[in-house]
Amino acid sequence: MIFRIFRCVCETCIFPEAMPRQTTSLFYDNLRLVDADKLRSLVRTGAYEGHTGGLASGKLQANVVIVPRRFAVDFHQFCVRNPKACPLVGVSRAGSPLLPALGDVDIRTDAPQYNVYYFGEVIRQKTDIIDLWRDDFAAFALGSALTIEAALMEKGVKLRSNGPGKALPKFRTKIKTRGAGPFGGEMVVSMRPIRRCDVDKVRALTARFPLAHGSPIHVGEPSIIGVRDLTAPDWGDAVEIMEGEVPVFWASSLTAQDALARAELAISITVSPGHMLITDVDAKADASTFGV
């Protein structure tokens, strides 16, 4: 049975016409059995363009931010000053699309979807950025909280989806970041409804993943961190808090994307929310692994 699942995925990779892109969600569950290298191959060939939550169990997922080289030092400093929201796991050489410390990675092709910003506004969405790549670009990879989803589910923590094609809700808080150059603003957080009985387990488990934002920054009453209305997220889609659940908030690497938008650079590029780069890095690695 496992062989047949792998065969199906491989045929989709080699013969994309065998499964049109719009039907890729039909084999999402099968992708949970696929390793990081094969997942990147599927993305690189255009066979998979969907969200990456719950995929590549045990491997770190990363947000990607690309800026012109003259802003690279300031953006690097912004990440260093805000490690909970912007845990750096990789920095490219100027002009290079490769991040060898993270695996056989080409940042132009290996995320399912990219947002292209002009003067702080998302103007285009693309499934690769080969035609936009420039010799003066510098790329940064930031650990993503999507890394922890597979680990939580494996430990019996129920993660309730807010529906097919829906994105995790994210909110701008009143927690100020430490600015650097043109980059600054408030911390952005993601929210997941968690059963009250699982909160302690979730705190302990996610603390083991420091490069995926670690443990939650807040549990419970949203207004304490400046979130006024859970039904109106700043990004993503609202999800209802059911009886017996509490809202649990994690720092989000969307903090970096928000700071990028506020900086209004002539051009910058990120991965789209929920469409992360799958790396070969152990999900439980710490920052000393990279020296960035």
Please indicate, yes or no, whether residues 130 and 84 belong to a single structural domain of this protein.
Answer: yes
Domain-embedded: residue 49: no
Name which of 250, 152, 149, 247 is nearest 205 in CA terms.
152
What's the CA gap between 264 and 4, in Å, rounded? 48
- Residue 257 structural domain: 61-292
What's the CA gap between 69 and 138, in Å, rounded? 5
Residue 73 in contact with residue 82, Cβ under 8 Å? no
For residue 223, give both structure tokens: 């207004």
Please indicate, yes or no, whether residues 272 and 152 belong to a single structural domain of this protein.
Answer: yes
Please indicate, yes or no, whether residues 20 and 93 belong to a single structural domain of this protein.
Answer: no
Global pTM reads 0.85
Residue 11 reports pLDDT greater than 60: no
pLDDT reported for residue 2: 34
For residue 278, give both structure tokens: 């799958």
Residue 124 in contact with residue 109, Cβ under 8 Å? no
Which residues, at least 6 apart from 184, have a Cβ–Cβ distance to it below 8 Å?
78, 177, 178, 259, 262
Banded model confidence at residue 292, pLDDT cuts 50, 70, 90: low
Which residues, at least 6 apart from 22, have a Cβ–Cβ distance to it below 8 Å?
none
Please indicate, yes or no, whether residues 67 and 173 belong to a single structural domain of this protein.
Answer: yes
Please indicate, yes or no, whether residues 133 and 219 belong to a single structural domain of this protein.
Answer: yes
Banded model confidence at residue 288, pLDDT cuts 50, 70, 90: low
Find the CATH number of the domain harbouring 268.
3.30.2040.10
Please indicate, yes or no, whether residues 284 and 245 belong to a single structural domain of this protein.
Answer: yes
Which residues, at least 6 apart from 76, have a Cβ–Cβ distance to it below 8 Å?
88, 91, 140, 292
pLDDT reported for residue 233: 96
Number of domains into which the chain is organized: 2
Q: What helix, strand, coil percent values describe the chain, rounded to 5?
A: 30, 25, 45
pLDDT reported for residue 187: 98
Domain-embedded: residue 78: yes
Q: Is 226 left (phi over 0), alpha (psi -120 to 50) or beta?
A: left
Please indicate, yes or no, whether residues 87 and 226 belong to a single structural domain of this protein.
Answer: yes
Residue 6 reports pLDDT greater than 50: no
Residue 214 reports pLDDT greater than 50: yes
Domain-embedded: residue 219: yes
Please indicate, yes or no, whether residues 8 and 151 belong to a single structural domain of this protein.
Answer: no
Please indicate, yes or no, whether residues 174 and 227 belong to a single structural domain of this protein.
Answer: yes
Please indicate, yes or no, whether residues 101 and 199 belong to a single structural domain of this protein.
Answer: yes
Domain-embedded: residue 38: yes
pLDDT reported for residue 27: 65
Among the ranges given (3-7, 38-42, 117-121, 186-190), the one the predictor scored with the smallest mean pLDDT:
3-7
As to burial, measured by CB atoms within 10 angstroms (0-12 exposed, 13-18 middle, 19+ buried), residue 266 is: exposed
Domain-embedded: residue 9: yes
Please indicate, yes or no, whether residues 266 and 182 belong to a single structural domain of this protein.
Answer: yes
Domain-embedded: residue 174: yes
Residue 26 reports pLDDT greater than 80: no
Domain-embedded: residue 52: no
Please indicate, yes or no, whether residues 72 and 31 belong to a single structural domain of this protein.
Answer: no
> Helices 147-154 and 199-206: crossing angle, nearest 10°?
130
> For 83-114, how does the pLDDT look when each residue is reduced to its tens digit (9 = 90+)?
999 999 999 998 999 999 999 999 999 999 99
Q: How far is CA 155 from CA 49, 102, 245, in A?
A: 28, 26, 17
